[in-house]
Amino acid sequence: MTVSTADAVGTRPVVVRSYVPGNPWALARRALVYVLLSIAAFLSVFPFFWMMIGATNASADIIKGKAWFGGALVANATTFFTQVDAPRIFFNSGFIAVVATALTLIISSLAGYGFEMFRSKVRERIFAFLLLLLSIPFAAMMVPLFVMFSQAKLVNTFAAVILPTVASIFIIFYFRQATKAFPSELRDAAKIDGLKEWQIFLFVYLPVMRSTYAAATIIVFMGNWNNYLWPLIVLQTAENKTITLILSALTSAYTPDYGMILFGTVLATLPTLVIFFLLQRRFVEGMLGAVK
């Protein structure tokens, strides 16, 4: 549909094109968008779907490429719980992930709040230095970290896994950026009412920034739950190992039982899925920088 009008001086027609629902080009573009989104969704979901299929099939069927559910779920579960001390390793993974996540959220949110709320001459220099540290790969720090924890006699302890993660520079940066959207009027009003800074943080800032905390919780918890390289180095006895280390050890067997391994992988994935689905609405709000 095309409508002609006159411009400001009335001497030249201006063509205004409005959207026509039946426009074939618009329909083609929309169809292309849906096709691309469908492909992206399929590629995202397929690995988990394949993992669930494998958990119900015998190892021989998986090797053959069987692409549908089988009847070996009970056998795979029995083999897994026979070979693996599941309660112990899930406790190890859960304890490390929960404690590390809680400490990271507390320390990083305090740091992000402080970097944004308290002004000083060296604030930006310190923050820029922290961001510069992000360019250092963790592999370059593993040897000095191991030497440090070895001298402190913390090797093969949960503390050795948790402590290097609690001051996450990325999460500090994330909280500082989110704090920029925090209404300064609330802080000013709280100060007028006589609240101290720690009270403002606990009773004003924290409830308002709950979406940011939810998003950070998902990111940090998943990172700690799936952490592999550093726990592989510092956790040296079987009773302290996490689920990721145990699954890796099962895959390195001479004849790995893929059905049993995929069953364990499904179990290892469930906690992160539960956390994500419980906090997914807040996660989207937090990633968009929403403050309520």
pLDDT of residue 161: 92
Q: Is 73 part of a structural domain of the chain?
A: no
pLDDT of residue 75: 87
Contact partners, residue 105, CB within 8 Å, separation at least 6: 171, 213, 216, 217, 220
Q: Is 270 part of a structural domain of the chain?
A: yes
Q: Is 15 part of a structural domain of the chain?
A: no
Q: In the chain, which stretches have pLDDT less than 50?
A: 1-9, 15-16, 18-19, 290
Q: Is 32 part of a structural domain of the chain?
A: no
pLDDT of residue 272: 87
Q: Is 17 part of a structural domain of the chain?
A: no
pLDDT of residue 104: 93
Residues 77-106 pLDDT 10s: 888 888 888 889 999 999 999 999 999 999
pLDDT of residue 36: 92
pLDDT of residue 220: 92
Domain limits at 210?
83-287
Phi/psi at 13 (5° precision): -70, 145
Asked if residues 111 and 259 have their Cβ atoms less than 8 Å apart, the reply is no
Q: Is 251 part of a structural domain of the chain?
A: yes
Q: Is 13 part of a structural domain of the chain?
A: no
pLDDT of residue 93: 92
Give the Cα separation of 55 and 104 in Å (integer): 34
Q: Is 262 part of a structural domain of the chain?
A: yes
pLDDT of residue 100: 94
pLDDT of residue 8: 46
Q: Kindly report the CATH number assigned to the domain that includes residue 144.
A: 1.10.3720.10
SS3 label, residue 45? helix
pLDDT of residue 11: 52
Residues 48-78 pLDDT 10s: 888 888 888 888 887 887 778 878 888 888 8
Contact partners, residue 146, CB within 8 Å, separation at least 6: 155, 233, 234
